[in-house]
Amino acid sequence: MNTDRKYADELDQQDKLSDFRNEFYTPDNTIYLDGNSLGLLSKRAEQAIHDMTESWKQFAINGWTEGDHPWYYLSENLGALTAPLIGAKPEEVVVTGSATTNLHQLTASFYNPVGSRTKILADTLNFPSDIYALKSQLKLQGYDPDGHLIQIKSKDGNMLETQDIVKAMTDDVALIVLPGVLYRSGQVLDMKTLTHEAHKRGIPIGFDLCHSIGSVPHKLSEWDVDFAFWCTYKHLNAGPGSVAGLYVNQQHFGHKPGLAGWFSSSKEKQFDMEHTLTPAHDAGAYQIGTPHLLSAAPLLGSLKMFREAGIENIRQKSLQLTQYLMDLVETELLEYDFKIANPTTASERGGHVYIEHPDAARICKALKADGVIPDFRKPNGIRLAPVALYNTFTDVWETIRILKTIMDEERFKHYENERGIIA
């Protein structure tokens, strides 16, 4: 393993995505490795927000149908820009709501308990918000979550095994909701196999793509996934609270959504103001309320960068960055009791590296004090996300150098080993 700074510089010189770094506002004297929590602001996203407020200023209510990006069709048009990232048809994707709101919508639409088939299958490693939503939906249907939410357990606390998930697909399961990438360890689940096995048993299945969209390619339509949902403020770099998205396989078009609202309507019928819903004949039917235009606008700039860069190129660089990071950890840091806890196989690794250490919380504080922004996950995990569009191999090299100095000089002992309010 070449641990010289010169080698990192050479990798950066070979990077065909390097120009995209200039598109982003990178904090001064900081190595930002938390893009899997909140992506950086790009100049194009900033311009898109300005353009949206200008359209409001110029057109007022006529902005719904006039201007470069008429508001009435914005959610669907952004969905079409998103579709290549997840391997979907344009009409199967719409930008709307928040990730959790969309999960509520999709669960209400796809969870149809009949007879003894009443349970929802999830896992113990999923992001808590998903579990809260699934429990809420069970309660609304009159079921006790303690008995009707099945959560697949992990053998090591970090990863799931495909065969364990398949084994849990029993005759009493009415719906399956799983993450595409586990938010803590970064494990990529085998969505193709899991979908095939679920459908063999007549069970609809959906995936949370919050930690995979924008960093990992998908083929949702080819795999025949029933539905998916995601946020847009992580790898998609659309900003805090930006509008989320959802996917619904075209085989389900024409069905009424579980949670209907004005924007569930067919565009041609919406302003007829009828009290009987005529749902849109595409993923737009799963919208509920009026689009949050100012919070969707950044995606106009961000998604165009993804179209130019190409998700396959992004994935290739991401894997190179995370492999380089893991190699340096193994070469430089194992003597300090660090343990790599994410999958090391490329096909199973998402867009970040997850390392464990007993002093993880205060090591993260020491890193921040030295200009590196990581992410702590309780009880003892550090997530490091070198993002393909704006991080460099030199960022990775510098991070390991700083971390090694922190350990050598025991700087982490200046801090309490407890997380802050926001980890």
Task: Provide the CATH number for the domain around residue 383.
Answer: 3.90.1150.10
Same domain? 54 vs 150: yes
> Any catalytic annotation for residue 393?
no
- Which of 268, 285, 308 terminates a domain? The answer is 308
Burial of 264 (0-12, 13-18, 19+ CB in 10 A): buried
Quote the CA–CA distance of 187 and 183 in Å, as a whole number.
8
Question: What pLDDT score does 334 carry?
Answer: 86
Give pLDDT, residue 1.
78
Catalytic one of 34, 208, 226, 395 = 208
Catalytic residue among 20, 143, 233, 354: 233
Q: Which tokens belong to 31? A: 């190595």
In the set 119, 135, 184, 234, the catalytic residue is 234
Q: Are residues 124 and 266 in the same domain?
A: yes
Residues 180 and 300 in one domain: yes
pLDDT value, residue 84: 98
Domain span holding position 286: 47-308
Judge whether 127 is annotated as a binding position. Answer: yes
Q: Are residues 298 and 322 in the same domain?
A: no
pLDDT at residue 421, rounded to an integer: 83
Q: Residues 286, 326: one domain?
A: no
Beta-carbon contacts of 138 under 8 Å, excluding residues fewer than 6 positions away, are 120, 144, 145, 148, 149
**Does residue 41 lie within any of the structural domains?**
no
**Is 104 marked as a binding-site residue?**
no
Is 339 among the residues known to form the active site?
Answer: no
Question: For the domain that residue 85 is a member of, what is the CATH number?
Answer: 3.40.640.10
pLDDT tens column, 297-331: 999 999 999 999 999 999 999 999 999 999 999 99
CA 127 to chain centre: 11
User: Is 275 exposed, middle or buried, given 0-12, 13-18 or 19+ CB atoms closer than 10 A?
Assistant: exposed
Regarding whether 392 and 290 lie in a shared domain, the answer is: no
234 is catalytic: yes
Residue type, 191: M
Residue 233 known to bind ligand:
yes
Residue 423 corresponds to which tokens in the numbers above? 């980890």
Do 297 and 322 have their domain in common? no
Is 383 known to be catalytic?
yes
Question: Does residue 44 carry a catalytic annotation?
Answer: no
Could you say which residues of the chain have pLDDT below 70?
Answer: none
Q: Which H or E run includes 22?
A: none
In a domain, 117, yes or no: yes
pLDDT at 422: 79
- DSSP type of residue 67: S
Same domain, 367 and 407: yes
Whether residue 208 is annotated as binding a ligand: the answer is: yes
Same domain, 171 and 279: yes
Handedness of CA 220, 390, 329, 341 (dihedral sign): negative
**Does pTM top 0.75 for this prediction?**
yes
Looking at the 3D structure of the chain, how many domains does it have? 2
